[in-house]
Every structure is written in structure tokens, then in C-alpha cells.
Amino acid sequence: MKSVVSGLARLSRGAPWAVVVVTLLLTGLFGYFAGLIEIASGNEGFAPEGPEISASERIAEKFGEESSESTLQVLVRDEGGDVITVEGLRVANRVAEVTRSGLGDQVSDRTERPGVFHYLSSVSQAMEAQGLALESMTDEMVKALYIEAIDGDGEFGAPPEQVSFLTRLVSEDFDPEAGTASGGMVLAFVSPFEGVDADAAFQNQVDAEEALAEDLRGIDTDLEINPFSFPLLLTGVDDFT
């Protein structure tokens, strides 16, 4: 560092006007780039283009940004494959069960919507209404019930206000004709945790969701299970990070 400072000092004595001109040019250049910086607060500050953040924003728009609840997203994925299948349904149901068990009373159920639901919840409801067991289902039957729900036709068609949201719970590569998608979402709405103060309450939520994430990743399946939430961003890192 000392040699750098000494070199700059010699250069300033030998060609002062050149140093001034270069300094002004660099100041103008850096000032131009500084004007292009976008400052973001909240979740989007972590990953402004992140699909998880975009999903959180859409969920907030759908269910109310002023709610004190937070959301836990669990992505069930078969990259290059299909999750609108019997296995996809089994895993989605299992994820929902483990989530309810892990979060307990913190799962926020409401009259207008359950505290945990997934991309194939409409299929599960139709199966229950018909008395169908998972063991009796085929991939084609799962696809048929899902397509019937999002088409809004037939006995098990979803209401119009739910159709658009159901289709957003599957990946963008969803093929409505073939009834295939490589990914689907499980959503859980979480009530605020209790604690001696706000920091302790939040830490309790971080600990609970970290333990839940480990349980979810331990589900026996070849499908990928990837949980995401804002508290999970803060697990396994120190305060500085």
C-alpha cells in the first residue's frame, strides 16, 4: 500500500494536470454508473430476479399483503419429467402432512382456504368425494381429475376464481393437453411465533422451519423436494453473513 501511495505522489508531482484530468474522468464515469444502481428493500433485496421471491409476491397479492402470516413454499420437482402423477400426488400429500405435523398450531387455517394446500389438492378432494384410494389411482386418472378441475367443467371443476391460482402452482412448462409439468408447489401459511420479544419469536420460527426443512428433505422419493421461506434464508449462517 505504501508503494502505491508513493507512486501516486511521484506521478502527481511530475504530471499534475494529467492526474487532475484522469481523476475528473473517473469521477464522471463512476457517477454515471452510480445513477444506474437500484436499491431494494425487503425480500427482493436478496434476489430481485429469484423465482421464489416472485412467487412470494404473487402469494401476497392473492391472499393480502397486510396479513401477519408468512408463507412456506415447497417445490416438488422432476426436472425433465412430470409431477402430475400418482407419485407426485403421494409426495405432495406427504409434504402437506409433514408440514402440518412439524408446524402444529402455527399452521394458519381459514374459512376461505386451508393452511396447507398443494398443486394437486383438487385431485385429493375429488378422490375423497368418490371414495378413491391412492393405491387405486393411475397417472392417467390423476391427470384427468386435475384437467377437469382447472377446466372448471364437470362435477369436480374448480370455481373460476381458483382456476388461475391452481395453474400458477405448477411450473411454466405445464402442458394442458398432455397434463404434464416438471414442478409443482405446496404452500403453507404460518402464523407468527411467540417469544419473549420479537427477535426471540422470529428465532423460534427460524428453528422450527429449519427442522421442518430437514424432515421434508428426508421424505422417501426420487422427486426433488426444495423448501423455501424467508426464515430459511437465515439458517446455517452467522450474523455477519
pLDDT of residue 111: 84
Task: Indicate the pLDDT class of residue 27, thresholds 50, 70 and 90.
Answer: confident
| Phi, psi angle pair for 187, to nearest 5° | -115, 140
Q: Where are the alpha helices (DSSP H) in 104-227?
A: 121-130, 139-151, 160-168, 198-217
For residues 123 and 145, the answer to whether their CB atoms sit within 8 Å is yes
Any idea which of 2-6, 82-86, 147-151 has the lowest mean pLDDT? 2-6
| Crossing angle of helices 86-103 and 198-217, rounded to 10° | 150
What pTM, to 2 d.p., does this model score?
A: 0.70
What is the spatial distance between Cα 87 and Cα 93, in angstroms, rounded to a whole number? 10
Cα–Cα distances in angstroms (integers) from residue 180 to residues 54, 73, 139, 147, in the given order: 23, 21, 10, 10
Range 54-78 average pLDDT: 71
Task: Sheet with 70-77: list strands edge to edge.
Answer: 116-118, 183-190, 70-77, 224-228
What is the largest distance, in Å, between two alpha-carbon atoms of the chain? 91
What is the spatial distance between Cα 31 and Cα 54, in angstroms, rounded to a whole number? 31
Range 15-31 average pLDDT: 68
Model pLDDT for residues 87-145, shown as the tens digit of each residue: 999 999 999 999 999 999 999 998 878 899 999 998 998 999 999 999 999 999 999 99
Record the cell numbers describing residue 232, joined without a space.
430459511
